[in-house]
Structure formats: structure tokens, C-alpha cells
Amino acid sequence: MTEQQPEPEVSLVLRRVPRLAERYVELARVAGGEPGGAVVFEELAELAGDLARAGDGAAARLAELMAAVEEVATVSPDAEELVGGAFLENLSPDDLIQLDQLMGRQTRAVLDGLELPPDVLGGDGSAG
């Protein structure tokens, strides 16, 4: 039986966000194999929220995480699903506000395509 390889987007964030690796191992254990991009990006959203709430001591790690998200948003044909549906939509409104300044152009473009509550970022139901 061959071991299933992670999707390219998952490999990218695992390389760029070392703190995700521990969580990934647990996700793979529970899933009995590679958990899939959507699950990993949901976990990445949880990690981003944790780092955002950790304050200035985690700023560099949070910036690295958001740079990895931006890279996926730029190169992946599945950016809308992974960055939008699995990552951005799983952040709380407070986390989105905190991450606003760290979002790159492509991440922001994905965010702009989401329907958010009126009080989040755009004030009118749009993200930007």
C-alpha cells in the first residue's frame, strides 16, 4: 500500500508554517492518511486565530503564515476553495480584522469574493 502524498498547497504551507506540522500529524492520524487540503486549511485558520490572539510575540510567525496563504492564493487553481472556503471563512470576524493588514493582494481578492456579515471589514457585507 502506497502512502498518499499531500496536495501541493498542503506541502507548501507545511514547509512555510512549521507550527502546522504537529497539527498535521494529528489530523493525518485521525483521518487514517492524508486529511486533504480543506481540512488542513481549516486547521491553518485555527492556528492563525491562535497567533493573532497571542499578540506581538507571535507577529513574525503570523506574518509567515499569511505569506504562505498569499502564495497559495497566487499559485493555486483551488485558491477560492482552500484560501476562501477553508481558511478565510473559518476565521472569526475579530481574527479577520486583526489579519487585515497582513493580507496580500491575492488573499484580499479571494476575501472580496466572500459574503461576510456587514460588520466585518467592509461594513456593507463586502470584504473590502
Q: What's the pTM?
A: 0.88
- Residues of the chain with pLDDT > 70, as a percent, come to 88
Q: At what angle do helices 59-75 and 37-54 cross, to 10 degrees?
A: 150
The mean pLDDT value of the chain amounts to 90
* Residue located via cell numbers 457585507: 125
The pLDDT tens digits for 74-104 are 999 999 999 999 999 999 999 999 999 999 9
The domain ranges of the chain are 8-112
126 or 7, which is more confident: 7
Q: What are phi and psi of 113, to 5 degrees?
A: -85, -5
**Mean pLDDT on 36-60:** 95
* Cβ partners under 8 Å of residue 49, min gap 6: 91, 92, 95
What local confidence, expressed as pLDDT, does residue 2 receive?
Answer: 45
What local confidence, expressed as pLDDT, does residue 56 receive?
Answer: 86
Q: Report residue 119's pLDDT band, with 50, 70 and 90 as the boundaries.
A: low
Q: Report residue 31's pLDDT band, with 50, 70 and 90 as the boundaries.
A: very high
Burial 30-57 (b: 16+ CB within 10 A, else e): eeeebbbbbbbbbbbbebbbebbeeeee
Measure the CA–CA gap between 91 and 87, rounded to whole angstroms: 7
Measure the CA–CA gap between 119 and 89, rounded to whole angstroms: 15
What local confidence, expressed as pLDDT, does residue 115 receive?
Answer: 81
